[in-house]
Structure 1
Amino acid sequence: MADDRQWDRRSLLRGAAVLTGAAAAAPLLGGAATALAGSGDADALFKAGKFEQAGRAYEEILKKDPKSLQAARQRGYVGLLANKFPDAEKYLKMALNLAPDDKETNQLLGDCYIRQDKFALSAPHWQAAGEESYAKWFAAVSGEAYQIHGESARVPIQQMDPIPLVEVSVNGGPTKRFMFYTGAPNLSMRASVAKEAGLSPVASQKTDYEGIPIWAHYGILDSFKLGGIELRNVRVGWSATESGEDVGTDSDGLIGTWVFYHLLTTFDYAGRSLILRRRTPEAAKEARAAATSAGAQPLPMWLAREQYLHSTGSFAGATGSRTGVVGVNFGGTSEIAAGIRGKTGEQLGIRSDYDREIGTFGNSHPAVVYPCYPKEIRLGNAVAKEVYCYTNPNSQINVPWPYGTGFDAMGWFSHCFWKPYNITVDFTDMNLYIARGEAA
């Protein structure tokens, strides 16, 4: 089976895995983590989600030992989490000079370049990281990628459950219904939609989907239109069975994080729409002002492993609560408000129904989860009490590279949590704003 990261890339049409924590990882904070944070140990700070402090600690290590690969690579990773590209490039290049063949460093630097649309620079690093399909895909991009035409668009969410769907146009063709999900990276579509749009792959790879062999194809799309916003020269993927049939028919395609981080996006759940704008200083200023007037405060945001969004939130049970970095997912297929990983639920005394096993499949692995009902889950001013969630006590708290983010994972917030709110995601200042009710 494919590894977790590859699975997210290659199983996009079914919404990836929202039940077992394919969404972002989040540090498990509390007394133990606080003690670690006070120790000054850079790796402990990083694992606890104290990223800025960890960055400074790695810099101190490098002053004493400029040849520390771990410190240089991790300091670059800290910069990448916050989209601080000069910092990320500086330290990742330092790490690469120390170990040119290091796969993790090459992957992080490849991600750093694709976030900036520097695809030609990213390709050799994906090749060195062992991602041949990615390398071929990005090397095939020519001209200006993700060209944005139009200033803004309000795109109605035509269906909210079981998956959120919006209407789009592919290469100027008839309307299609795409889901959106920030737990997945790139734009993707059904094989039949790709064929109708006249797409040809620039790279292909045989992989596995729930035990079935399929082909993952990668190409370049001329035009993708959402209401009054059109993106041109866009990276796109599609999957097909060995006979060329569609893999999954729940929707015509999926809009992942890579599309959204090229825009200033408001996921207006309460108003049942996506609000898309160019990422300009003026648009950002207006969005911040609107969010602030609606009572929203800026929350920090981090982007890990090409697509996984994180912020700061908390979980509470009968015996206590913990606050720290949590994963945030918008869209996707999910009946839950949040997912809780490892022994977190037991440690916090969260009421769980262990007599009711729910079998699911995600990240290329079967999993068993259980219903649970935290006393409270909170992200900024957004809060839900005694709400339906899942817990997976057998999932790993910390999933290191190459499968995870490398910091401890308490849980993540999912599709159903957001329904009373509108959320603006600002990838320039790396903040998100959550306000109750429909966006103005």
Structure 2
Amino acid sequence: MSTENTDRRKFLRQAGLTVGAATVLPLLGAETAEAAGAGAATSGSSPDRLFRDGRFKEADQGYARILSKDPNNARANAQRGYIALLSNRFADAEKFLMKAIGLAPGDVFSKQQLADCYVRQDQFAQAVPLLRAIGQDAYAKQYASLSGKPYEVRGAQSTRLPFKALNPLPLIEASVNGGPAAKFIIDTGAPLAFTMETAKKAGLRSVATSTEAVGYQTVTMHHGVVESIRFGDIELRNVPVVWHDGELPHPLGKPQPAGTFGSTLFYHFLTTIDFGDQTFTLRQKTSAQLNAFQAEARRANTDRLPLWLADTRIPCSLGSLNGYGPKVVSLNAGIEGAAGAASVFTTEAIAKRAGARLDDTRPNLYGTKDDATPFVVHRTSLGRMTARNLYGFALKKPLMDDRFRFQTLGNFSMEFLKPFALTFDYAGMSVYVSHT
């Protein structure tokens, strides 16, 4: 496996595998989005500008003011729906997105967000017609094939699994359809995906196929439903899954993992990824479990930060570089550490603004100077959790901004996260960060 799997293309393109999300949606650029906001101000404090800057609460208030005067403003409804979805406020997201689509039936992005709103609640049947309408037939067929309760949780209230490896990516063991335990990658930005071999051993049936991007590879994606996945003492049943003929990251001379687990699975639990302790914990989403964890977090003086979920499965929170921030950052444990131990991916403009030391004399991700420049940032922070003198890459183009439609400070990868434990609460939309 070449270390090219660690390049920026993996980060830039891996979100193309969203569950029920289009890989090539026509997205508005910043200028087009601004121009489309009929009734919105054009000053630096306009809701469009505030949203673009990741100031979601203030932007939402601005769109609300627009709607108080013009309740049929399609863009303001769409933006309020999208902001609500970022925080898993499903009732508000559904209300505003449905209104936006009614006012602007050609709004593909809002249809996608509404489909995602239903998918996140395991209301797959309601997502099916929306996915068909935007040309996502493979996902529509997959979700229509579900029978029984999707993501049914059985077993213990919690389970804790040790990492079987940390480099190039964390691995845990799980069993598929009662088979022997196999190693899977923990990747916050990945879909629930299997290799072809794993799917064959599990006896999975493909109900549809699509062609999609996995890292720098174009793969044939198969869509189906897995009857059972067991993690230690917890079992999940009736779970939508994809499998493909691409290659997953693995050390040279070692077999590739059986698949990937990401946020589409994690948000069904109170999920802790403890990189420092090299353990993975799933807790069922009950009030008792959350209260017990929160009490433990208070005793440990753990940082509690806001959590947003963008582009179906990319968790975001607030971070800073050299004190520049806090601003919205994406947290992606699925970017391998082998790429020069890069911990931060950002743009050249942001790296310079943050006072990072760019070194264009060193080779970048491709061994040239054309795509990204290595840099060292003296202080990288997520809440109070700080690491010093980390290595990163400054890209010439924005990261996920075109897909998110808002700007991020950058992506914090596993190399930054290694000393920390992260617990994702997708009900309260908080991420808890502590040093382990």
Give the TM-score range, shorter chain.
0.7 to 0.9
Which of 148, 154, 168 pairs up with 2:153?
A: 148
Within 1, Cα distance between the matches of 2:218 and 2:409? Answer: 33
Report Cα offsets for 1:304-349 as digits up to 9, x if no partner.
1100111111011xxx623211111234423322212241112222
**Which secondary structure does the structure 2 equivalent of 1:375 belong to?**
strand
Cα distance change of structure 1 residues 210 and 74 upon mapping to structure 2, 3 Å threshold:
closer
Answer yes or no: is 1:348 the counterpart of 2:354.
yes
Runs of 5+ consecutive residues of structure 2 not aligned to the other structure: 1-8, 20-40, 250-254
Structure-2 change in CA distance of 1:371 and 1:43 (3 Å): same
Distance 1:63 1:295, change over 3 A: same
| Residue aligning to 2:412 | 413
- Corresponding position of 1:253: 259
CA distance in 2, matches of 1:87, 1:426: 19
The 5 Å alignment of 1:23-38 reads: none
1:11 Cα deviation from its structure 2 partner = 10
Question: Does the alignment pair 1:387 with 2:393?
Answer: no
1:306–1:213 distance in 2 versus 1, CA, 3 Å: closer
Q: Structure 1, residues 56-102: CA drift from partner, whole Å, max 9, x if none?
A: 11111112112211110000001001000011011001101112232
Deviation digits for residues 369-393 of structure 1, max 9, x if unmatched?
332111211011210111122221x
Letter in 1 for 2:78: R
Moved more, 408-417 or 186-195: 408-417
Q: Distance in 1 between matches of 2:334 and 2:94?
A: 31
* Paired AA for residue 52 in structure 2: K
Structure 1: unaligned runs, 5 residues or longer: 13-35
Q: How does 1:185-264 map to 2 (within 5 A)?
A: 186-207=191-212, 214-240=219-245, 250-264=256-270
* TM-aligned CA deviation for residue 236 of structure 1: 0.8
Range 299-308 or range 342-351, more displaced: 342-351
Give the SS at the match of 1:107: helix
| Partner SS for 1:333 | coil
Q: Percent identity?
A: 35
Query: Are the equivalent residues in 1 in contact too, given 2:142–2:207 (CA < 8 A)?
Result: yes
Superimposed CA distance per residue, residues 193-247 of structure 1 (whole angstroms, 9 cap, x where no aligned partner): 1001000111101345677653110110000111111111111111127xxxx67
- Counterpart contact for 1:422–1:434, Cα < 8 Å: yes
Aligned residue in 2 for 1:18: none
1:272 maps to which residue? 278
In structure 1, the partner of 2:32 is none
Aligned to 1:92: 97
Q: Distance in 2 between matches of 1:209 and 1:424?
A: 26
Shift of 1:413: 1.1
Q: Contact (CA 8 Å) 1:37, 1:50: kept in 2 or not?
A: no
Contact 1:10-1:239 within 8 A present in 2 as well: no
The secondary structure found in structure 1 opposite 2:342 is: coil
Aligned equivalents of 2:370, 2:314: Cα separation in 1: 20
**8 Å contact from structure 1 (residues 313, 324) kept in 2:** yes
Q: Distance in 1 between matches of 2:10 and 2:144?
A: 23
Alpha-carbon distance, 1:357 to partner: 2.5
Give per-residue Cα distances to partners, 1:279-320, cap 9 Å, x unaligned: 11111111111112111131100011100111111011xxx6
Aligned length: 397
- Give the one of 168, 172, 178 matched to 1:166: 172
- 1:115 is matched by which residue type in structure 2? R
What secondary structure does 1:142 align onto?
Answer: coil
When structure 1 is superposed on structure 2, of 259-268 and 292-301 the one drifting more is 292-301
**Cα deviations by residue, 1:379-437 (Å, 9 ceiling, x for unpaired):** 11210111122221x1126733xxx1001122021112122221111001000111111
**Cα 1:298–1:9 shift into 2, 3 Å:** same
Question: Which of the residues 297, 300, 304 maps onto 1:298?
Answer: 304
Q: How does 1:36-115 map to 2 (within 5 A)?
A: 39-115=44-120
SS in 1 for 2:407: coil
Pairwise CA RMSD of aligned residues?
Answer: 2.6
The two structures have a TM-score, normalised by structure 1, of 0.84
Q: Which amino acid aligns with 2:100?
A: A
Does the residue aligned with 1:339 lie in a helix, a strand or coil? strand
Contact preservation (8 Å) 2:364, 2:393: no
Alpha-carbon separation, structure 2, partners of 1:5 and 1:354: 21
* TM-score, with structure 2 as normaliser: 0.85
Is the CA contact 2:13–2:214 (under 8 Å) kept in the aligned structure 1?
A: no
Q: Which has the higher contact order (CA 8 A, sep 6+)?
A: 1
Aligned residue number for residue 25 of structure 1: none
Q: Provide the C-alpha distance between the structure 1 equivalents of 2:74 and 2:10, rounded to a whole number of angstroms.
A: 25
